[in-house]
Amino acid sequence: MNLPGRFLTVIRGWSLPIGISSVTLGTAAAATQHGSIGLYLLVIFGTCMLHACANTFNDYFDLKYGVDTPDAPTALYRPHSVFAGLITPKALLYLSIILAGGALVIGMALAILRTAYLWPLIILGLFLNLFYTALPERGLKYIALGEPAVFLAFGPIIMEGSYAVQTRHLSWNVFLLSIPVGILVALVLFANNLRDREFDSRKKIKTLATLLGPRTGIKTFIVLACLPYAIICAYVGMGILDWPGLFVLFSLPTAFRAVRIFSQNIPVAADAVASEVALSFNFFLLIALVTNILISF
């Protein structure tokens, strides 16, 4: 494997489009007031570094605390960077620190040069990133707070932050818009935890999936997969979102497909299936926001 391919595998590059889509939605929401492609690209770069850092820290601490083993479900469906011989544990830690430092520098620069509203978002984002797995048996991942953490990070934090970088202020409407987006990203983690439920139970890891059990877990998955669509329809009905918001309904077939798959049997690539729902929803929501911008002109 060449160096770029190795690097992308180590940081789980396939997961980065989720964060990029959240940044894009937050920026699109600001486009009627202000828009800078340079700032947009800078936020994407910082977000990708922070997301990659979360992935590498997660792999490092799961390995350190004995959660990740060669027979772990995660290691069976994707290459684990250490078990695959792509990087050593020490190098993985150093890479995580470098990525975190780079993301922090970008965030601080934007907070200083653009708006102080970014400071609480940066601090909260770094807290969620570090303490997701850093504390043995008390990390957010291990005490059934993984989904809320992911919801906050990829919903309100990234979208409000992206919007604030462009406009220098926050928006209640962007916060509301971030709720269904965050739910579907949390669904990706929940799908992963549903697949790993038995393994996590043996490791004495508490996740939402282990607490709910298999039957209730599937029902919860179905609710979480459908809830964002109901929220968007409610927003349109209340006038919070204009009628193009209904474009998200074009992604419903992807959501129904995921529900059907999970209702029959939880797939090995559970998070990949759920990611398709989130990315499809975000794509059509972006189309809705762009259409609304064109109409307003």
**Would you say residue 1 has pLDDT above 80?**
no
Structure token pair of residue 259:
């529900």
The domain ranges of the chain are 3-296
pTM of the model: 0.94
Any residues with CB less than 8 A from the CB of 289 and at least 6 apart, and which?
25, 28, 29, 31, 244
Which 3 state secondary structure label does DSSP give 143?
A: strand
pLDDT, position 23: 97
- Residue 79 amino acid letter: P
Taking alpha carbons only, the member of 130, 125, 128, 132 closest to residue 205 is 132
pLDDT, position 81: 84
Share of the chain above pLDDT 90, in %: 73
**Would you say residue 242 has pLDDT above 80?**
yes
pLDDT, position 297: 65
**Would you say residue 137 has pLDDT above 80?**
no
Give the tens place of pLDDT for each residue, 143-181.
Answer: 899 999 999 999 999 999 999 999 999 999 999 999 999
Q: Give the mean pLDDT of 97-125.
A: 95
Distance CA 104, CA 46 (A): 8
Structure token pair of residue 18:
């989720």
Answer whether CATH 1.10.600 is correct for domain 3-296: yes
Give the tens place of pLDDT for each residue, 200-237.
Answer: 888 788 899 999 998 999 999 999 999 999 999 999 99
Q: Give the mean pLDDT of 136-140.
A: 77
Residue 75's pLDDT band (cuts 50, 70, 90) = low
- Are the C-beta atoms of 115 and 168 separated by less than 8 Å? yes
Mean residue pLDDT of the chain comes to 91
Share of the chain above pLDDT 70, in %: 97
**Would you say residue 296 has pLDDT above 80?**
no
Cα torsion 277, 281, 284, 290: sign: negative
Any residues with CB less than 8 A from the CB of 64 and at least 6 apart, and which?
89
Distance CA 249, CA 245 (A): 9
Give the Å distances, CA to CA, from 183 to 1, 90, 147, 221, 239: 35, 34, 9, 11, 21
